[in-house]
C-alpha cells in the first residue's frame, strides 16, 4: 500500500506543554517519550533540565540555573502517529520565546498541579492558546499527593480561565488514599497500585463495577459514583467539535511521577487532538496537503552545539513535503535558497532529516539568511504566513563592550543574539548608543553570559530601568522630540520608537504631539 502525503500529514500531532514551573512538565514529557521509545532511561529529560546530562551542553546556563532557557523540540512515534512535542520554558522571563513556540503547534497540553490549581504562568500561556483558538487538553497532575478537591479544580478552570471542561476521567480519592481513576471515556476503572491486567476493572452499563471487587465496599467508591452522577447531570456534554475549536477542554487526572494515567491520557489525546490544519497566509489559506512545500521560522538559536558554532533556524512545516536538498524561496526577499543542511529533533539527539511533512519541525542550518517569522516556500507566489507576535519590551539596559578593541566581536555577537529574537536592540538617534530591551531580567543575564562564552566579549550593562515602548507609525519623525523622558530610538529594522519614562510621560507626549501616531504591537493582536 502506498502511503500518500495525506496519510503522512494525518499521522502528525504537534503540541506544546504549557504549565507553571514545577507542575510536572518535565516529568510528563519524559514519560511520554518513554512510551514512544524515544528515550530509554527515565531521567534523560529531567537530567537535561537539572544539568546532570551531557545534552545540556546546549546551553551552559541551563545547567547553572537548572531551568530550561530555550524551547526544544522532541519527536517520537507511537501507535501509528508521529508526535512532535515542543518544549516551552516555564520561566516567565522567557515568555517571548514561549509565545512564538505556541504559534507553531496545533494543540496544547496544560498541566495543572492538583494542589496549586491554576497559577499565573498558566494563565498567560493559556491566553495565547485561546487567542489562536487551538484545542487545549488538561492534565491534572500529582494525584498521588493531597490536593484540592476535583470539583474545585474544575470550577477554577471555568472561573479563572473561562473555559468549559469535560472530565474524561475522575479521581477516586487522592494522596495516601488514591485508589485510581474512574475512566468515563473508556468505561473502566484504572487502579493506582495494581500492575498488569488486573489494573483495569470494567464497568457495566450503569457505570458501576461489573464484577465483585473489594472496592465496592469503599466509601471512596460511593463518593466517586455520586460525583460522576453529578457530572453527568450538571456537567458539560462531551463535544469533539467544541474541543477542536478550543471551547471545551478534556480533563484527565493522573500522576506523571508514578506514570499513572499517562498512557490513558496519551491514547485519548492522540484520538482527539487535531492533525495539521490549513493556515492563513497572505494569499489565502494554505492546505497542509498542498503539493507546494511551505513553512515558517519561529525560532533561531545560535551555537546550540558550542563545538560546531552553528546557528539553527526552527521551521514549522505548513504544507507539502520537505526533501533535503530542495530549492525554496525566502518570501521576504524573494531569494532562492537550497535546503541542503537540515536536522530533526529526537529526544536526546539531533539527526539529519531527509524528509518531513506538514506538522513536523525541522532545524535548518543558518548562515544568516533567516529572521524570525520568515516564510519559505516552493510556491512562486511567495506568500507569507501571518506575522508572529512582537513583544513590547519593558526593561532596558545600555550596553557596550568593556574592551574597545573587541568592537567587531561585540557587534557580531549582539546582532546574532538579537536575530534570535530573545532580546531587542535599539539605537539612540542622538548618541548612537545601544540599548537592549527585554520582557524579563533573566534575558539580560543570558545575553551577558552568552556574549562572554560564545563571542568572548565582556559587556558593560547599565540598567536604565523600565520604560514604556511605543513605535511611531510614520517613517519620519522630528528628532528634536527626543528628551530624557521620551528617548527616541530606532529598532533593528530602522523603525522609530520612543521609550517613555512612565505613563505620565507618555500621556504628556500624546497631548503635546497629537500628530505623532504611536502604537503598541501588543495592542494590534
Ligand atoms: P516542571 O518541568 O513543570 O518545572 O516540573 P518537574 O517535572 O520538574 O516537576 C517538579 C517537581 O514535581 C519534581 O520534584 C517532580 O518530581 C515532582 N512531580 C512531578 N510529577 C509529580 C507527580 O505526579 N507526583 C508527585 N508527587 N510529584 C511530582 P522535585 O522535588 O522538584 O524534583 P526531584 O526531586 O524529583 O528531582
- Mutation test residue for ligand 1: of 25, 27, 68, the one with most atoms within 8 Å of CB: 27
How confident is the model at residue 70, as a pLDDT?
47
CA of residue 458 to ligand 1 center, whole Å = 36
- Indicate whether 198 and 307 sit together in one domain: no
CA of residue 175 to ligand 1 center, whole Å = 15
- Indicate whether 194 and 64 sit together in one domain: yes
How confident is the model at residue 349, as a pLDDT?
46
90 close to ligand 1 (CB < 6 Angstrom) = yes
- Indicate whether 366 and 508 sit together in one domain: no
3-state helix/strand/coil string of 189-255: EEECCCCHHHHEEEECCCCCECCCCHHHHCHHHHHHHHHHHHHHHHCCCCCHHHHHCCCEEEEEECE
Report whether 276 belongs to an annotated binding site.
Answer: no
How confident is the model at residue 195, as a pLDDT?
81
- Mutation test residue for ligand 1: of 30, 257, 262, the one with most atoms within 8 Å of CB: 257
How confident is the model at residue 121, as a pLDDT?
80
Q: Return the top range by mean pLDDT from 277-281, 354-358, 427-431.
A: 277-281
Position in ligand 1 atom list of the atom nearest CA 254: 23
- Indicate whether 153 and 260 sit together in one domain: yes
Residue with CA at minimum distance from ligand 1 atom 25: 142
Report whether 267 belongs to an annotated binding site.
Answer: no
Residue 393's pLDDT band, with cuts at 50, 70 and 90, is confident
Domain count along the chain: 3
CATH number of the structural domain spanning residue 403: 3.30.70.3280
Domain boundary among 253, 272, 291: 272
Average pLDDT, the chain: 86
Domain boundary among 272, 292, 310: 272
What are the grid coordinates assigned to 358, written together? 506538514
Comparison of pLDDT for 349 and 456, the residue scoring more: 456
Lowest mean pLDDT among 154-168, 302-316, 447-461: 302-316
Residue 167 has pLDDT above 50, yes or no: yes
Residue 159 within a domain: yes
Can you say whether the dihedral through the CA atoms of 58, 63, 69, 73 is positive or negative? positive
- Indicate whether 267 and 366 sit together in one domain: no
- Indicate whether 242 and 367 sit together in one domain: no
141 close to ligand 1 (CB < 6 Angstrom) = yes
Report whether 514 belongs to an annotated binding site.
Answer: no
Domain boundary among 346, 377, 408: 377
Position in ligand 1 atom list of the atom nearest CA 260: 23
CA of residue 22 to ligand 1 center, whole Å = 6
**Residue 304 β-bridge partners:** none
255 close to ligand 1 (CB < 6 Angstrom) = yes
Query: Per-residue pLDDT averaged across 70-99, rounded?
Result: 75
CATH number of the structural domain spanning residue 362: 3.40.50.300
Contact predicate 97/107, CB 8 Å: no
256 close to ligand 1 (CB < 6 Angstrom) = yes
How confident is the model at residue 493, as a pLDDT?
84
CA distance 247 to 48: 35
CA of residue 192 to ligand 1 center, whole Å = 18
36 close to ligand 1 (CB < 6 Angstrom) = no
Residue with CA at minimum distance from ligand 1 atom 31: 22
- Indicate whether 371 and 419 sit together in one domain: no
Residue 171 within a domain: yes
Position in ligand 1 atom list of the atom nearest CA 111: 3
Residue 385 within a domain: no
- Indicate whether 180 and 285 sit together in one domain: no
24 close to ligand 1 (CB < 6 Angstrom) = yes
Report whether 26 belongs to an annotated binding site.
Answer: yes
- Indicate whether 332 and 463 sit together in one domain: no
31 close to ligand 1 (CB < 6 Angstrom) = no
**Which residues form the domain of 515?**
395-524
3-state secondary structure of 329: strand
Query: Per-residue pLDDT averaged across 496-505, rounded?
Result: 95
What are the grid coordinates assigned to 66, written together? 537548572
How confident is the model at residue 306, as a pLDDT?
58
Residue 489 has pLDDT above 70, yes or no: yes
Residue 387 within a domain: no
Helices 120-132 and 95-102 cross at an angle (nearest 10°) of: 30
26 close to ligand 1 (CB < 6 Angstrom) = yes
Residue 55's pLDDT band, with cuts at 50, 70 and 90, is very low
- Indicate whether 34 and 178 sit together in one domain: yes
Residue 11 within a domain: yes
Report whether 122 belongs to an annotated binding site.
Answer: no
CA of residue 38 to ligand 1 center, whole Å = 21
Q: What is the bridge-based pairing of β-strands 73-78 and 136-141? A: unpaired
Residue with CA at minimum distance from ligand 1 atom 28: 257
Residue recorded with cell 516564510 = 375
Percent residues over pLDDT 90 in the chain: 60
- Mutation test residue for ligand 1: of 22, 109, 147, the one with most atoms within 8 Å of CB: 22
How confident is the model at residue 445, as a pLDDT?
86
257 close to ligand 1 (CB < 6 Angstrom) = yes
- Indicate whether 418 and 498 sit together in one domain: yes
- Indicate whether 341 and 199 sit together in one domain: no
Amino acid at each position: 500500500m502506498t502511503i500518500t502525503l495525506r496519510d503522512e500529514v494525518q499521522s502528525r500531532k504537534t503540541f506544546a506543554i504549557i504549565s507553571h514551573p514545577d507542575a510536572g512538565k518535565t516529568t510528563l514529557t519524559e514519560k511520554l517519550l518513554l512510551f514512544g521509545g524515544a528515550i530509554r532511561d527515565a531521567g534523560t529529560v529531567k537530567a537535561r533540565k537539572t544539568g546532570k546530562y551531557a545534552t545540556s551542553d546546549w546551553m551552559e546556563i541551563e545547567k547553572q540555573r537548572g531551568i530550561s532557557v530555550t524551547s526544544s523540540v522532541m519527536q517520537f512515534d507511537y501507535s501509528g502517529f508521529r508526535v512532535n512535542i515542543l518544549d516551552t520554558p516555564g520561566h516567565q522571563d522567557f515568555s517571548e520565546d514561549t509565545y512564538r513556540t505556541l504559534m507553531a503547534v496545533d494543540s496544547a497540553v496544560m498541566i495543572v498541579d492538583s494542589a496549586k490549581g491554576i497559577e499565573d504562568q498558566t494563565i498567560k500561556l493559556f491566553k495565547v492558546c485561546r487567542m489562536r483558538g487551538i484545542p487545549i487538553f488538561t492534565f491534572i497532575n500529582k494525584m498521588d499527593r493531597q490536593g484540592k478537591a476535583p470539583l474545585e479544580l474544575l470550577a477554577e478552570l471555568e472561573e479563572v480561565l473561562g473555559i468549559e471542561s469535560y472530565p474524561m476521567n475522575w479521581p477516586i480519592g487522592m494522596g495516601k488514599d488514591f485508589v485510581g481513576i474512574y475512566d468515563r471515556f473508556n468505561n473502566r476503572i484504572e487502579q493506582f497500585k495494581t500492575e498488569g491486567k488486573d489494573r483495569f476493572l470494567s464497568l457495566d452499563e450503569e457505570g458501576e463495577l461489573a464484577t465483585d471487587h473489594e472496592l465496592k465496599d469503599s466509601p471512596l467508591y460511593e463518593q466517586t459514583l455520586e460525583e460522576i452522577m453529578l457530572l453527568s447531570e450538571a456537567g458539560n456534554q462531551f463535544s469533539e467539535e467544541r474541543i477542536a475549536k478550543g471551547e471545551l477542554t478534556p480533563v484527565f487526572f493522573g500522576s506523571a511521577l508514578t506514570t499513572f494515567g499517562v498512557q490513558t491520557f496519551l491514547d485519548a489525546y492522540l484520538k482527539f487532538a487535531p492533525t495539521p490544519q490549513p493556515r492563513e497566509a497572505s494569499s489565502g489559506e494554505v492546505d497542509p496537503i498542498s503539493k507546494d512545500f511551505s513553512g515558517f521560522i519561529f525560532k533561531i538559536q545560535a551555537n546550540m552545539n558550542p563545538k560546531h558554532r552553528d546557528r539553527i533556524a526552527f521551521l514549522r512545516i505548513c504544507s507539502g513535503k520537505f526533501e533535503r536538498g530542495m530549492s525554496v524561496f525566502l518570501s521576504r526577499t524573494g531569494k532562492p535558497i537550497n535546503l541542503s543542511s537540515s536536522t530533526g529533533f529526537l529526544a536526546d539527539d539531533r539527526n539529519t532529516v531527509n524528509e518531513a511533512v506538514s506538522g513536523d519541525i525541522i532545524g535548518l542550518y543558518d548562515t544568516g539568511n533567516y529572521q524570525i517569522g520568515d516564510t519559505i516556500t516552493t510556491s512562486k507566489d511567495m506568500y507569507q504566513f501571518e506575522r508572529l507576535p512582537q513583544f513590547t519590551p519593558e526593561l532596558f539596559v545600555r550596553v557596550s563592550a568593556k574592551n574597545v578593541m573587541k568592537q567587531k566581536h561585540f557587534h557580531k555577537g549582539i546582532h546574532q543574539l538579537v536575530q534570535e529574537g530573545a532580546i531587542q536592540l535599539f539605537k539612540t538617534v542622538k548618541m548612537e548608543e545601544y540599548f537592549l530591551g527585554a520582557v524579563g531580567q533573566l534575558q539580560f543575564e543570558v545575553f551577558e553570559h552568552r556574549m562572554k562564552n560564545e563571542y568572548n566579549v565582556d559587556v558593560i550593562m547599565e540598567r536604565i530601568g523600565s520604560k514604556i515602548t511605543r513605535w511611531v507609525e510614520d517613517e519620519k519623525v522630528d528628532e528634536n522630540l527626543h528628551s530624557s523622558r521620551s528617548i527616541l530610538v530606532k529598532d533593528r529594522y530602522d523603525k522609530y520608537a520612543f521609550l517613555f519614562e512612565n505613563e505620565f510621560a507618555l500621556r504628556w507626549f500624546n497631548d503635546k504631539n497629537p500628530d505623532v501616531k504611536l502604537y503598541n504591537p501588543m495592542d494590534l493582536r
